[in-house]
Chain A
Amino acid sequence: MHELGIVFHVIDDIETLGRENDLSRVSSVTLELGEVSGVVPSLLQDAWRWAADRSDLLRGSELVCESTPAVTLCDACGRTYGTVEHGRTCPYCGSGDTHLLYGRDMTIKQIEAC
């Protein structure tokens, strides 16, 4: 859905980085996607191919997506657990008084460039 918007932001950030570091070509970009970021990697790849090939710096570059785990904190018992496995209910004490610690983040981890 909003994958194209995300790709535009990634490309903007890398073009800025490219100017600051005098880069001429980027061959790959690695993104870390939180498990509950809601982003669909295959849609991201499609959007990437379309948008990256319109950038001189990023033409032909590969997008690598790595998944990072989502973790929820239980406010009742103070323990943490995997969000994807257990959702909003704490598997230790059964409380629903929980909140997501991380797992929604999208981070540009690294690029390969010259």
Chain B
Amino acid sequence: MDEFRVIEVKQNVMASNDAEADELRAALAHEGTTLVNLMSSPGSGKTTTLGRTIGALAREMSIAVMEADIDSDVDARTIAATGADAIQLHTGGMCHLDADMCRQGLDELADQLTHSGKDPHRDLVFLENVGNLVCPAEFDTGATANVAILSVPEGDDKPLKYPLMFEVCDLVLVNKMDVAPYFDFDLARFEDNVRSRNPKATVIPICAKTGEGMDAWYDWLRSLVRG
């Protein structure tokens, strides 16, 4: 009978994911690929925003989308209908993606592009993360930038309730500005709430439905892709 003994480990649970994420980020920078991790609650407008963004930028740069929001291919088909290359990632019901799952998704995407006779290189890849304001923020995916979408009906207090999401993002898109007159959403108060958690974050109000305000977002993406 073997003796069980105590072994001190003292290892941060996120350390291995963080290391994998940094590795992926460096590899992407080397390949000249910008990866944007898009996070929001379900229904905030991730897919709608992506569809319109692809329409606006597809002539300037090569774009692809990795869909992780729920294990059905509804969103991937919506994106494919815009003419962009999209793959559905299978998260197995997980509430988030980690760096390793993201890297596997990128490999799968490159395989699929090669298979269909296309150039596997993409200037810009979007990851539509699982619709959830809590869990995706916990895991560094290795993305070049993190973007959160908050839609007007969700309320301007969300940065106070879900601080981590707003701390990890570089940019916040405030979507569904067209319905602002029907909600007591205060954009200035929202910006204050974001800045109190994250002074560096940029806030851009948009309407993905009509395209209003989206030029500032496209410019932000352009300068990110240019590096």
Contact = CB atoms under 8 A, between A and B. Distances in A.
Interface in A11-58: 12-14, 17, 21, 24-25, 27, 31, 38
Query: What's the interface size class on A, roughly?
Result: 20 to 34
A31 B14 CA distance: 12
A21 B3 CA distance: 15
A2 B3 contact: no
A10 interface: yes
A108 interface: yes
A21 B11 CA distance: 15
B16 A2 contact: no
A106 B13 contact: yes
Nearest to A4: B94
Nearest to B138: A2
B33 to A, nearest CB: 25
B13 A110 contact: no
Given A38-B164, A113-B5, A108 B95 contact: no
Contact of B11 (A4, A13, A27): A13
A96 B195 CA distance: 13
B158 to A, nearest CB: 15
A110 B138 contact: no
Interface of B: 2-14, 16-17, 94-96, 98, 132, 134-135, 138-139, 164, 196
